[in-house]
Amino acid sequence: MRRFALIAVPYIWLLALFLVPFLIVFKISLSDTALAIPPYTPTLKDGFGALIQGLDFENFKFLTSDDLYYKAYLSSLKIALFSTILTLLVGYPMAYGMARAPQEWRATLMMLVILPFWTSFLIRVYAWIGILSNEGLLNQFLLSIGLISEPLTILNTNTAVYIGIVYTYLPFMILPIYAQLERMDDSLIEAAEDLGCSRLSAFWLVTVPLSKNGIIAGCFLVFIPALGEFVIPSLLGGSGTLMIGKVLFEEFFNNRDWPVASAVAVILLLILIVPIVLFQRNQQKQAEAEA
């Protein structure tokens, strides 16, 4: 009986506040916009039969008819993919350096990586506005050393969005890779070198494969949230930055078109299901390997 209650309480909570809301989103994505409160029809008040009959795929057809949505999905995928690669390129050398640092420094380095994670996300994105704007600190610095003669436009472009994503998600990339590299046995590298590998090929053939799980976990942890990112493209990106999270937000709040916003959410979710399932598989495999 107690065991039942222990399972039931968190289970019912998640069903009610996680699963049911998704079903509602799905249902509304099949409804029509209406000038009513709430602004869509049909609702349950009209009876269950009318509810089922009133549903159709019109909003999804609308999404395919307007270029904006399809471009926004593609450009979100592109931005998320490139920024994941960039984060990996910045994060891996850092995780590698941390794992090779003397034992007594590691806790401090680890804390330095975690500290930004505890600091407000919004503030960390905001910090870049003052740096990247036309009169910003980066342009002031580059002008003063004479590297450029007129200010670079970085803020409100996709470049700023890439910088923002790499910056805010870097800890998510470093930590899982570091966790793998840290417990790697150094004698493996020595063995590879004794057997005639160069340092570089020992790195490629031994270190990278051993940290594979960390790389996969880190990439998913950056890619998945970056795909639906809203704050970074809104603050750092410009009018030309199309990302689906931003489109959804605007569709809902500015256009007040709830059914279309829901349809946008449903498709985003469908795109995300594949990486999310792959990520969970990877985590489970790792957990089983460690147990």
Choose the stretch contacting other proteins; rule: CB under 8 A; options: 52-60, 67-75, 207-215, 283-291. 283-291
Q: Where do we find the tokens 């460690």?
A: 290
The residue among 69 and 128 lying less far from other proteins, judged by its C-beta, is 128
**Which amino acid makes up residue 205?**
L
The residue among 95 and 158 lying less far from other proteins, judged by its C-beta, is 95
Among 55, 77, 81, 131, binds other proteins (CB under 8 A): 131
Give the 3-state secondary structure percentages of the chain, helix then strand then coil, rounded to 5.
75, 0, 20
φ, ψ of residue 193 to 5 degrees: the values are -70, -40
For other proteins, the binding residues in 22-61 under the rule CB under 8 A are: 22, 24-25, 28, 38
Cα distance between residue 50 and residue 275, in whole Å? 36
For other proteins, the binding residues in 190-249 under the rule CB under 8 A are: 220-221, 224-225, 227-231, 235, 245, 248-249
Cα distance between residue 151 and residue 288, in whole Å? 53
Burial of 54 (0-12, 13-18, 19+ CB in 10 A): middle
Tell me the CA distances in angstroms from 278 to 88, 144, 216, 221, 269, one per residue in order.
18, 48, 10, 12, 14
Choose the stretch contacting other proteins; rule: CB under 8 A; options: 18-26, 47-55, 59-67, 204-212. 18-26
Token pair in block for residue 16: 């009610």
Choose the stretch contacting other proteins; rule: CB under 8 A; options: 9-17, 58-66, 67-75, 206-214. 9-17
Cα distance between residue 274 and residue 269, in whole Å? 9
For other proteins, the binding residues in 253-282 under the rule CB under 8 A are: 253, 258, 261-262, 265, 268-269, 272, 276, 279-280
Residue 283 in the binding site for other proteins (CB under 8 A): yes
For other proteins, the binding residues in 97-126 under the rule CB under 8 A are: 97-98, 100-102, 107, 109, 111-116, 118-124, 126
Count of C-beta atoms within a 10 Å radius of residue 44: 9
Q: How many residues touch other proteins (CB under 8 A)?
A: 87
The residue among 158 and 178 lying less far from other proteins, judged by its C-beta, is 178
Among 53, 64, 140, 255, binds other proteins (CB under 8 A): 140
Q: How far is the CB of 25 from other proteins (least distance, A)?
A: 5
φ, ψ of residue 248 to 5 degrees: the values are -60, -45
Asked whether the beta carbons of 74 and 243 are under 8 A apart, the reply is no
For other proteins, the binding residues in 147-176 under the rule CB under 8 A are: 167, 170
The residue among 54 and 136 lying less far from other proteins, judged by its C-beta, is 136
Q: How far is the CB of 121 from other proteins (least distance, A)?
A: 5
Nearest to 69 by CA among 229, 251, 254: 251
